[in-house]
Amino acid sequence: MNSWIDLFYAGPQQLIPVVVGLVLWIGLAGLGYLVTGRDRIVEANVFFGWAAVSTLFTCVGIFVAGAFHVLSILVGILALVGIVLARLRGDALFVPGAWRVAVLSLPLLLIAGAMDPSQWDEFSHWLPASRFLIASNGFPTAEHTFEGFAGYPYAWPFLMYLGGQLAGGFLNNIGYQLNVLMLLTFAVFALRAAFAMAGKPRVDLIGWPFAAAAALVATAFNPTFVQKIVLTAYSDVSSATVTGAAILVGYFLLERLAGREAKSTWGSAWQLALVLALLINIRQTNLSVFLALVFALGLIAWRDADIRLGRAASMLPLIVIPAIVLYALWRYYIATRLVGLSAEATLRPFAGWNFAEIPRILGSMAEVASKKFAFFIPMLVACGFAVRALLRCRTGFDRIALLVSVVFAANLAFLFITYLGHFGRDQAVTAVSFWRYNIDVGMVAVIFLTAGVLWYWRGRTSFDTYPRWLAPVAIVLVVALPFGFATKLRFDYEPPKPHYIAVAKALAPQASALGNVYVMDPKGTGEAAVITRYYLDRPGMPWISAFSGPTPQLIAQYLDNLKRGDHVLIHSTRAGMDEIFGQVLDERTSYLFRREPGEWLLVRTWPKPADHPF
pLDDT tens profile 318-351: 999 999 999 999 999 988 887 766 566 788 898 8
Residue 14: inside a domain, yes or no?
A: yes
* 394 pLDDT more than 70: yes
Question: What is the reported pLDDT for 338?
Answer: 78
DSSP state of 169: S
Q: Is residue 251 located within the same domain as residue 288?
A: yes
Task: Give the Å distances, CA to CA, from 395 to 388, 392, 599.
Answer: 11, 9, 79
* 2 pLDDT more than 60: no
Which is more confident, 459 or 342? 459
* 586 pLDDT more than 80: yes
Q: Which domain holds residue 517?
A: 497-607
pLDDT tens profile 395-418: 999 999 999 999 999 999 999 999
Q: Is residue 330 located within the same domain as residue 465?
A: yes
| Domain edge (last residue) among 434, 462, 489 | 489
Q: Is residue 536 located within the same domain as residue 507?
A: yes
pLDDT tens profile 467-525: 778 889 999 999 999 999 999 999 999 999 999 999 999 999 998 888 899 999 999 99
Q: Is residue 527 located within the same domain as residue 409?
A: no
Q: What percent of the chain has pLDDT over 90?
A: 77
Q: Tell me how many domains the chain contains.
A: 2
Q: How confident is the model at residue 611 (pLDDT cuts 50, 70, 90)?
A: confident
Q: What percent of the chain has pLDDT over 70?
A: 97
* 462 pLDDT more than 90: no
Which is more confident, 27 or 458? 27
Question: What is the reported pLDDT for 461?
Answer: 53
| Domain edge (last residue) among 489, 522, 549 | 489
Question: What is the reported pLDDT for 470?
Answer: 84
Handedness of CA 206, 211, 217, 219 (dihedral sign): positive
The angle formed by the CA atoms of residues 155, 160 and 166, to the nearest 5 degrees, is: 125
Confirm whether pTM is higher than 0.85. yes
Residue 613: inside a domain, yes or no?
A: no
DSSP state of 491: G
* 463 pLDDT more than 90: no
Q: How confident is the model at residue 440 (pLDDT cuts 50, 70, 90)?
A: very high
The angle formed by the CA atoms of residues 286, 411 and 235, to the nearest 5 degrees, is: 45
> Mapping DSSP to helix (H, G, I), strand (E, B) and coil, where does residue 203 land?
coil
Question: What is the reported pLDDT for 327?
Answer: 96
* 464 pLDDT more than 60: no
Which is more confident, 39 or 274? 274
Q: Is residue 20 located within the same domain as residue 160?
A: yes
Mean pLDDT of 426-455: 95
Question: What is the reported pLDDT for 1?
Answer: 41
Q: Is residue 484 located within the same domain as residue 582?
A: no
Question: What is the reported pLDDT for 343?
Answer: 63
Question: What is the reported pLDDT for 425?
Answer: 92
pLDDT tens profile 175-205: 999 999 999 999 999 999 999 898 877 778 9
Residue 578: inside a domain, yes or no?
A: yes
* 539 pLDDT more than 90: no
Q: Is residue 453 located within the same domain as residue 544?
A: no
* 145 pLDDT more than 90: no
Residue 612: inside a domain, yes or no?
A: no
Lowest mean pLDDT of 31-40, 114-123, 162-171, 535-544, name the range: 535-544
Please state the φ and ψ torsions of residue 595, each to the nearest 5 degrees. Answer: -75, 125
Q: Is residue 380 located within the same domain as residue 501?
A: no
SS (H, E, C) 375-438: HHHHHHHHHHHHHHHHHCCCCHHHHHHHHHHHHHHHHHHHHHHHHHHCCCHHHHHCCCCHHHHH
Question: What is the reported pLDDT for 426?
Answer: 94
Between CA 199 and CA 196 the distance in angstroms is: 5
| Domain edge (last residue) among 443, 458, 489 | 489
Residue 281: inside a domain, yes or no?
A: yes
Between CA 33 and CA 46 the distance in angstroms is: 9
Q: Is residue 563 located within the same domain as residue 452?
A: no
Residue 105: inside a domain, yes or no?
A: yes
Which is more confident, 262 or 43? 43
Question: What is the reported pLDDT for 259?
Answer: 87
Q: Is residue 69 located within the same domain as residue 205?
A: yes
Residue 595: inside a domain, yes or no?
A: yes
Residue 577: inside a domain, yes or no?
A: yes
Mean pLDDT of 360-383: 97
Q: Is residue 570 located within the same domain as residue 466?
A: no
Please state the φ and ψ torsions of residue 603, each to the nearest 5 degrees. Answer: -100, -45
Quote the radius of gyration of the chain (alpha carbons, Å): 26
The angle formed by the CA atoms of residues 305, 308 and 309, to the nearest 5 degrees, is: 100
- 387's CB contacts (< 8 A; 6+ apart) are none
414 CB neighbour count, 10 Å cutoff: 17
To 10 degrees, what angle do helices 286-303 and 373-391 make? Answer: 30
Could you give the dihedral angle defined by the CA atoms of residues 161, 166, 171 and 174, in that order, rounded to the nearest 10 degrees? -80
* 76 pLDDT more than 60: yes
Smallest CA-to-CA distance from 411 within 393, 436, 388, 429 is with 436
Q: Is residue 483 located within the same domain as residue 582?
A: no
